[in-house]
Amino acid sequence: MVYREVRRVGFLERGRGRMTSLVLPAQDHAALIEAIARDRDRTAFAELFRYFAPRVKAYLRRLGAPDAVAEELAQETLLSVWRKADRYDATKAGASTWIFTIARNLRIDLLRREQRPDLDPEDPVLVPEAPVAADHALETQRRENRVRVALGHLPAEQAEVVRLAFFEDLTHADVAEKLGIPLGTVKSRLRLAFAKVRGHVGDDPS
């Protein structure tokens, strides 16, 4: 469970040896979209972009898109949010569900243009997660906040390997190469980091 929570939290910047993340409640995401639709609020769009662009890119990479393609489609997704913000209906879907559906559809459109014969739009891997109930969303937000606090207290070297492995989706070998440290050191730092996070959150690592 802790591993999934860390991946959801994500990291946007690093400062003073600690990891800082931007985690917004779902209703704030919707409010940002509404501000874009109502006022063409560029500040709201910038905040939404900072939060969703790396997450959408990671999602697209999990769908099999190469890094450069995922980057391009993520930007196109957020530009679609800017252009179509007035079409968003918070009573029908959560903001993240709406945004990830746009990303999914753009990925499918690209595969169709490439004339992939094996494309199945209903493949479960191409279907975004269903929105969760409000009480579950609140509990998830609380857990994310606890994980964020725990991550913020990690030593800088442990926080760095967690950031690279979970925010940038690098393999352990890639992390080792990027930091110039042995693979065993990467794994050791990750184990230590998650032991500390589990101790703070009080959960198992599954």
Tell me, yes or no, whether 206 lies in a domain: no
Asked whether residue 117 is assigned to any structural domain, the reply reads: yes
What is the DSSP-derived secondary structure letter of residue 127?
A: S
Question: Could you count the other beta carbons within 10 Å of the beta carbon of residue 112?
Answer: 11
Closest by Cα among 129, 154, 181 to 8: 129
What integer pLDDT is reported at residue 19 of this predicted model?
Answer: 40
In a domain, 28, yes or no: yes
Range of the domain at 194: 2-201
Whether the CB-CB separation of 166 and 2 falls below 8 Å is answered with: no
pLDDT at 164: 82
d(CA 186, CA 173): 8
Indicate the residue type of 46: A
Start-to-end CA span in the chain (Å): 5
Gap between the Cα atoms of 131 and 187, Å rounded: 33
Distance CA 51, CA 193 (A): 24
Do 146 and 201 touch, CB atoms closer than 8 A? yes
Q: What is the CATH number of the domain that holds 80?
A: 1.10.1740.10
Give the pTM: 0.52
3-state secondary structure of 93: coil
Coil, strand, or helix at residue 168? coil
Domain annotation covers residue 34:
yes
In whole angstroms, give the CA distance from residue 67 to residue 152: 28
Number of domains in the chain: 1
Structure tokens at 65: 């898109």
Domain membership flag for residue 187? yes
User: How confident is the prediction along the chain (206 residues), in pLDDT tens digits per residue?
Assistant: 555 555 555 433 333 333 434 344 444 888 999 999 999 999 999 999 988 998 898 888 888 888 899 999 999 999 999 999 999 988 888 888 899 889 989 988 888 877 765 555 555 555 555 554 555 556 666 766 777 788 888 898 998 898 888 766 678 888 899 899 999 999 999 999 888 888 777 654 44
DSSP 14: E
Q: What pLDDT shows up at residue 43?
A: 92
Cα separation, 83 vs 76, in Å, equals 10
Residue 183 belongs to some domain of the structure = yes
Please give the pLDDT value at position 64.
Answer: 82
Sign of CA dihedral 182, 183, 184, 185: positive
Would you tell me the crossing angle of helices 172-179 and 183-201 to the nearest 10 degrees? 110
Q: What is the pLDDT of residue 180?
A: 93
Is residue 163 within 8 Å of 18, Cβ to Cβ? Answer: no
